[in-house]
Amino acid sequence: MAITLLNPDGLPEIDAYRQVSVATGSRLVFVAGQVSWDDKGVTIGEGDLAAQVERCYLNVATALAGAGASLADLAKLTVYVVDWTPDKMPLLMAGIARAAEALGAAPLPPATLIGVAALDVPEHLVEVEATAVID
């Protein structure tokens, strides 16, 4: 496995992700920001942040698989949420939990959450981009 996830002493432990990933692989995989589209470009979960988060993570997993990688190879995630406020965290976590259950694995690499005014189309509430490392 090319990725080791850590929570070093001196940093807080976050349930949703690990603070550090150490990559020892030889190939980088960059996944474009994934929105809640199905394979035909139809938005899944319009108006439902948790459903859109779930679909974004499922799309990240599909993109990784296409490159010969998996969630275990994730080194970093960046999550963009429209009109972010802390009260949306339960919905974000619910979507991640549902995706983890569907995929049989939790995506726990370091992650950055960024609140944005808007995304590419008005019905998209979240976008997730990923970086993975594989041998």
What does the alpha-carbon distance between residue 17 and residue 76 come to, in Å, rounded to a whole number? 10
Query: What CATH number does the domain containing 14 carry?
Result: 3.30.1330.40
Segments forming the whole domain that contains residue 77: 3-134
The predicted-structure confidence for 20-64, as pLDDT tens digits, reads as follows 999 998 999 999 999 999 999 999 999 999 999 999 999 999 999
| 20: its two tokens | 């550090």
What is the number of domains present in the chain? 1
Place 107 in a pLDDT band, splitting at 50, 70 and 90.
confident
Burial of 77 (0-12, 13-18, 19+ CB in 10 A): buried
pTM: 0.91
- Residue range 79-93, pLDDT digits in tens: 999 999 999 999 999
* Cα 55-114-61 angle, rounded to 5 deg: 30
Tokens representing residue 95 in the block: 């979507």
Provide, rounded to the nearest whole percent, the portion of the chain with pLDDT above 90: 83
Residue 66 CB-half CA count within 13 A: 9
